[in-house]
């Protein structure tokens, strides 16, 4: 894969969690952004040591 192709794949992977957080915000289910991100990460099995900071 080319570098551009890798970047496109990485960008697509981020869309799902962002959409989940956006739906929660629009529905008023969660009003705290970091809390919504935490819930999404937990539901998707994301671990802190996996995430790059």
Domain extents in the chain: 15-53
Residue-by-residue pLDDT tens, the chain, 53 positions: 566 666 666 555 667 888 899 999 999 999 999 999 899 888 888 776 765 66
Put simply, whether the predicted model's pTM sits higher than 0.85 gets the answer no
Neighbour count for residue 25 (Cβ, 10 Å): 14
| Calpha distance 19→36 (Å, rounded) | 11
Q: Which two tokens stand for residue 46?
A: 């994301």
């Amino acid at each position: 894969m080319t570098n551009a192709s890798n970047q496109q794949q990485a960008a697509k992977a981020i869309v799902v969690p962002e959409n989940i957080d956006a739906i929660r915000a629009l529905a008023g289910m969660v009003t705290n952004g970091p809390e919504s991100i935490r819930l999404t990460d937990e539901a998707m099995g994301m671990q802190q040591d996996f995430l790059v900071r």
